[in-house]
Structure 1
Amino acid sequence: MAAERVLQSQEFAALYAEVQRFYAHQMRILDAHDAERWAGTFTEDAVFELPSLSGPLRARAGLARYVRAGEARQRRVGNRLHHWIGMLDVRPQADGSLHTRCSALVYVTPRGGSSRVLYVCVMEDVLVRIRGRWRTAHRRVTRDDLA
């Protein structure tokens, strides 16, 4: 029984590291404004809920448009955004999906200025494995500064 728990613990540790790598990759390409690659880390029919939008973004095309619009806004004002993910909780589900919850910090760096935290968020995802790779099927982001 103890050996089985160790194996399960090792399997979970490997899964946890895999999910951390997924988020590191996803946030790097988001920060690089690589809209199509970032949208490709979601399922075709993904739903993305952000408190700053009037309704959820749907499907990869909507996600890519959102990233391109964000890049244009940041370029106009001369800012760079960076995302940091931490305090990750990963909960495997019976259907093979993962429910994750983490803290997400969004930093802004104005041209010639110092970085500061812009938003403190909680990000809750449903991840599914498609052709051996994790994809986000549903993301819900809440912000501490919004009710």
Structure 2
Amino acid sequence: MRDTISPAYASLCAEIQRFHARQMQLLDSGDAEAWAATFTEDGLFAPPSLPEPVRGRAALAAGVRAAHAELAAEGEVRRHLLTTAAVADPGPDGSVRVRSYVQVVATRRDEAPRLLLMCVCDDVLVVEDGEWRVRERYVSRDDRA
């Protein structure tokens, strides 16, 4: 844990926060291609709900399209609230590790929102073409081993 915060580190944390906010809003809106573009071309997404990680933008986008269509048919909206991001110093290759908590809130029309999931998200982020992208994302759930 850092004792002091340099302006460069504060700027890095702000960039990562903006990146995550945009990425979660793209996911929740169902903008599958734009969300998938926030990953590297061969980006890996390993959620605990799938038997194998998803790799590559095409597969990532397909998964979001299918999930968003299913939720729309059920009349449910989901919001991913990414908080408490702990940003590590950049590694020798420029990648940045970020560990955060993600709450997934589900809402159906005329019903109270409910906390669906509480997760831990471990990201490896890299800069490509001047933009942050996820190279690897591992998600674990508090209710599963």
TM-score, scaled relative to structure 2: 0.94
Superposed, 1:54-133 pairs within 5 Å as 54-91=51-88, 92-133=90-131
What's the counterpart of residue 49 of structure 1?
46
Q: 2-side partners of 1:144 and 1:71: how far apart?
A: 23
Identical aligned residues as a percent = 46
The structure in which a higher percent of residues are helix is 1
CA distance in 2, matches of 1:29, 1:145: 26
- The residue that corresponds to 1:34 in the other structure is 31
Q: Distance in 1 between matches of 2:49 and 2:79?
A: 18
- Structure 1 alignment gaps of length 5 or more: none
Q: Which residue of 1 aligns with 2:141?
A: 143
Moved over 2 A (4+): none
- Residues 54-76 of structure 1: CA distance to partner in whole angstroms, max 9, x if unpaired? 10001000100110111111012
Structure 2 distance, partners of 1:134, 1:82, is 22
Q: Give the counterpart letter for 2:27 in structure 1.
A: L
- In 2, the alpha carbon distance for the partners of 1:53 and 1:45 equals 18
Gaps of 5+ in 2: none
Number of aligned positions between the proteins: 142
User: Aligned with 1:15: secondary structure?
Assistant: helix
Q: Which digits, 9 at most, give the CA deviation of each residue in 1:47-101, with x for residues without a partner? A: 1101000100010001001101111110121100001011101112121100010
1:9 aligns with 2:6: yes
